Amino acid sequence: MTNDNEINSEHESDVPVSQGESELTAIWTPGWYELDQSLVLGVRQKYWFFESPPSEFDEAVEEFDLVFYNQLASLANFQVRYASILEMSHPHFGQLLHVDTDGLDYIFVPVMGEEIVVDAEENIGKAQIGDFQVDDWSIHVSLIEVSDPVTG
């Protein structure tokens, strides 16, 4: 997986959209420790997905077309696709605009409300606002303009 700021060798507009389904669903489950990719609503870019999701994602595989890759679960079991995020939501915070995974804190930016800063290093999954407890930080994602797998 690469840094979000890396310049891609092939331009995303040159990558054809898959002729398959028009909208795919995916789940993003954080591995924390800066091992996850950031998500941005409405921007077509490269995303990494598990080629064969590990067993801890068996339930998600039944519900979602794709599972976002993170390096905690595997170092090599991935495929790369270009896609645009049409919608992303968290069960507690609702619709999201952005998830920033750069740094020791992850930042979840909801459509409505203030951004949520979550510890991704020491007190993993602990939000730095209020006293509420969130047990599952997984995000449901709807993708459009999804390419077939590409190299690198």
The residue-averaged pLDDT of 18-28 equals: 79
Tens of pLDDT, residue by residue over 34-81, are 999 999 999 999 999 999 888 887 777 789 999 999 877 677 889 999
The domain total for the chain is 1
Average pLDDT over the chain, rounded to an integer: 85
pTM: 0.83
Count the alpha carbons within 13 Å of 19 in the hemisphere toward its beta carbon.
0
Best CA proximity match to 85, nearest among 24, 18, 15? 24
Q: Which of 2-16, 17-31, 76-90 has the highest mean pLDDT?
A: 76-90
Q: Which domain covers residue 120, as residue numbers?
A: 15-144
Residue 114 lies in a domain: yes
The answer as to whether 124 is a domain residue is yes
Q: pLDDT digits over 109-145, tens only?
A: 999 989 999 999 999 998 867 667 788 999 999 999 9
